[in-house]
Amino acid sequence: MIRKTHIIAGLLLMLPILALSIKPKLSDSNLQMILVLTDDWDSVQGNLFLYERKNTQEPWELQYRTVPVVVGINGMGWEKESYREILSGPLKKEGDKRAPAGWATAGSIFGFAKGLKSSKYDSYLQLTDTIECVDDKKSKYYNKIVDASSIPAKDWQSSEKMRKIFLYEFGLVSGFNSELDANNSCVFMHVWRSKDKGTAGCTAMEKDNLENILTILDSTKKPVIVQLPRQAYNNVKELWGLPNIG
């Protein structure tokens, strides 16, 4: 049964997962993981792996074939300054067209339809003409997904009108959205334009692969999203309890 969320109170709901220092390994309750790897900081193209484990004593097992993805037009950047202790690299900033690097919990699934068939995910947002993601830093609604029709006094000059973006036919809200530092907003996983075109800071892939992955995700397994260039991944995989990748 899908619990439909018509209005998400805001991406701020995911802020507890963000820390002011380097995050430790994934929680014992995180039993699903979407892993995105690129060759280096400036790479646009990469690969996505969907892993699952039965518990922390069991190894991560691949649940879906390797999926080609694209990230930001300018590659990736650390979502937090403290991550530079792991490996020197660019810091993600609003508008830099880099996808965030690090790890975060997965948020709500969204799409044009009323729901996904056979979904095991308990949070779904159907996009309507009035659903917007606010990316104006000066707005008190910055980094929130709101129903604009329910807000009498709009204080933003910039937003994504999500139903009008065809790439959002299916998507996943990312916990990388960080209102505290205003480094990221409206960061999602969504359908790509093509295998050669990067995004403004999201991670994108072919439609069928995305839909299949979203169908496999299970809320009870508390899925997380890990995005890293390979060198950073190699530096942190033991600390975060991540699988070995060939």
What b-and-e string marks burial along 222-242, b requiring 16 or more CB atoms within 10 Å of the CB? Answer: bbbbbbbbeebbeebbeebbb
Mean pLDDT for the chain?
Answer: 87
Give the mean model confidence (pLDDT) for residues 23-35. 89
Residue 7: band (very low, low, confident or very high) from pLDDT cuts 50, 70, 90: very low
- What does the domain layout of the chain look like in residue ranges? 11-16+28-237
pLDDT of residue 178: 59
Angstrom CA distances, 214 to 5, 91, 172, 191, stand at 16, 29, 8, 12
Residue 9: band (very low, low, confident or very high) from pLDDT cuts 50, 70, 90: very low
Residues in the chain: 246
**Model confidence over 148-207: pLDDT tens digits?**
999 999 999 999 999 999 999 999 999 887 544 566 789 999 999 999 999 999 999 999
Residue 22: band (very low, low, confident or very high) from pLDDT cuts 50, 70, 90: low
pLDDT higher than 60, residue 14: no
Strand 99-111 with 76-78, pairing: parallel
Q: What is the largest CA-CA distance in the chain?
A: 53
pLDDT of residue 36: 98
- The CA-CA-CA angle for residues 175, 181, 184, to 5°, reads 45
Q: Tokens in use for 229? A: 């260039």
pLDDT of residue 184: 75
Q: What percent of the chain has pLDDT over 90?
A: 70
Helix (H, G, I), strand (E, B) or coil at 70: strand
Residue 11: band (very low, low, confident or very high) from pLDDT cuts 50, 70, 90: very low
Strand 203-205 with 61-70, pairing: antiparallel
Report field, pTM of the whole predicted structure over 0.85: yes
Residue 3: band (very low, low, confident or very high) from pLDDT cuts 50, 70, 90: very low
**Model confidence over 52-62: pLDDT tens digits?**
999 989 999 99
Question: Closest Cα to residue 26, out of 99, 106, 85?
Answer: 106
pLDDT of residue 182: 62
Compare 237 and 15 and report the one with higher pLDDT.
237
Could you give the CA distance from residue 135 to residue 170 in angstroms, rounded to a whole number? 20
Q: Tokens in use for 19? A: 């820390």
Q: Tokens in use for 107? A: 């948020």
**Model confidence over 210-227: pLDDT tens digits?**
999 999 999 999 999 999
Q: What percent of the chain has pLDDT over 70?
A: 87
pLDDT higher than 50, residue 20: no
pLDDT higher than 70, residue 105: yes
